[in-house]
A and B are shown apart, each in its own frame.
Chain A
């Protein structure tokens, strides 16, 4: 039987794997980017990124010092009697000293840092109940350099698809070299202001090589990505062919009078990881197998 300590252990291991190694779709996209670049400067930036990924794996070390704030997506089985929330909180606390993670979570006004990534509202958990007989926990450790470039626009319905494209383009232009390009873009369309921002972040959980199931949305993903890569911002904003290595869109129905659009900007270190905790205590890491 699974107990709270199993959740803790699973979360520590999940965070360790996730900050050390990128999902294969992201790494493959970076390799393709290095192959595509011609000029010396972007090549040198991508080469440093590839060397860094290798060193992080060999040393079992976080690839980037910004291990983000801990935002989780949890799917519980229909019956679950253990305190998963407490297991996650204690797991984060332990991972901060054991992995280690950088203690990033501070009070928003006093800026006081408790040193363990735990405070009011952090770690943050998105809860769902599913039909599986395991607990599934996904985490996206995301740096502030990219998160700070994210934006929401409450468009009017008449602005339509053109308005969406305008907003994505202006967000990328404003971001420039700041979010550690080559970036990944998560775009949320519809819902309400809060749902739209969540959709944009959740879009980043989908593998980069998987298009949206709705062909029209899939077409928009490809069209936007191809166009944005003509800008020439390049790796680290130092110029080059690769400004973004992926663009995913998620949508939800919205009010007839609104058209919310959100862009969540992600860096090249597009870390995400999932653990499945089976009721017999067995752990599975579908995104970060070792």
Chain B
């Protein structure tokens, strides 16, 4: 089943999603990876203002290639980065900033799955490396914040239209496609070890 949703996402929208569903997004998508997580949490602790509002937002684990065009910017390539690098900061980020969706690749660990369940946030998987396909769903760029962090690490404010396909990888019911695959891989491991002549 395919759904089309608009950001910022309402908690009802988010909680209605189930793992395995295919989603397309419209509206603003913010990029944010390692340095944005570190920075935003630090700013919050020091009481400094955060330049964008992450509430209900789609946060994209992405460090795009951008090209300056006149006064503005255009996206050249914008695929996801490995989400697990943000595992240690994401639960706190979700609790404090309450985004509606995290877009990335590779999945995230149990504390993030728990935080998503508690605060109403989903993980949307997008095909890693498919950066030109992803960039097609970005119609324009509204701006950039924290550019001093460098092109890959800045917060890019992207206007998405029919952005996807995104697969719901973690839902608000505590289910994770990645955990399901891991369980299957564990089941398959003994046969692999036998094939390689290793102790099972």
Contact = CB atoms under 8 A, between A and B. Distances in A.
A65 B63 CA distance: 7
A205 interface: no
Interface string B172-199: 0000011011101100110111011110
B25 to A, nearest CB: 16
Interface stretch (B5-13, B91-99, B113-121, B125-133): B125-133
B196 A65 contact: no
A180 B128 contact: yes
Contacts of A180: 105-106, 128-129
Interface residues of B, number: 53
A268 B129 contact: yes
Contacts of A113: 149-153
B131 A239 contact: no
Contacts, number: 171
Given A232-B185, A238-B181, A239-B184, A227 B128 contact: no
B165 A44 contact: yes
A113 B35 CA distance: 12
A102 B151 contact: yes
B181 A232 contact: yes
B65 A67 contact: yes
A179 B65 CA distance: 19
A109 B105 CA distance: 26
A79 B156 CA distance: 49
A48 B127 contact: yes
Tell me which of B62, B63, B64 has the highest count of chain A C-beta atoms within 10 A of its own C-beta. Answer: B63
Contacts of A48: 127, 130, 133, 165
Contacts of B81: 66, 145
B109 to A, nearest CB: 11
Contacts of B129: 49, 52, 63-64, 66, 143, 180, 267-269
B100 interface: no
Tell me which of B105, B130, B189 has the highest count of chain A C-beta atoms within 10 A of its own C-beta. Answer: B130
B182 to A, nearest CB: 7
Nearest to B20: A41
A209 interface: no
Given A100-B67, A176-B182, 15 more contacts: A45-B127, A56-B131, A61-B77, A65-B131, A66-B131, A100-B76, A113-B153, A176-B106, A180-B129, A227-B195, A230-B191, A232-B185, A236-B105, A237-B106, A238-B125
23 contacts: A44-B167, A48-B130, A51-B130, A56-B132, A61-B135, A63-B77, A63-B131, A63-B132, A65-B64, A66-B81, A106-B150, A111-B153, A113-B153, A165-B198, A169-B192, A169-B198, A180-B128, A227-B196, A230-B191, A230-B192, A231-B188, A237-B107, A267-B128
